[in-house]
Amino acid sequence: MLSPGNPYVLPSVLVAAGTYLAVTLLTDVSLLVRIGLLAFLAGVVPIVLNRLLGGGSADEWRDDPLENAGDGDGDESREA
């Protein structure tokens, strides 16, 4: 849900921050309403978009094999 594999988290957080600032500067809405709007836009919207539009998840990219795993090209050659 809120994972590195969810491509909608960063845009949603940026939109939520901008909306929070705009609502703070332009209206007299209470702090509770502003924080609720921020939490909705940054927390709920990316999860819903990820489910509706089929974005990636952390489980999907974690299963991919590493390209150079086991080559012996790592730090083993620097052993003293």
* Weakest-pLDDT range from 27-36, 48-57, 62-71: 62-71
In whole angstroms, give the CA distance from residue 9 to residue 48. Answer: 11
pLDDT band of 7, cuts 50, 70, 90:
confident
In whole angstroms, give the CA distance from residue 73 to residue 1. Answer: 35
In whole angstroms, give the CA distance from residue 45 to residue 8. Answer: 8
In whole angstroms, give the CA distance from residue 73 to residue 80. Answer: 16
In whole angstroms, give the CA distance from residue 55 to residue 40. Answer: 19
pTM of the model: 0.59
pLDDT at 65 over 80: no
Q: What's the average model confidence in pLDDT over 1-20?
A: 82
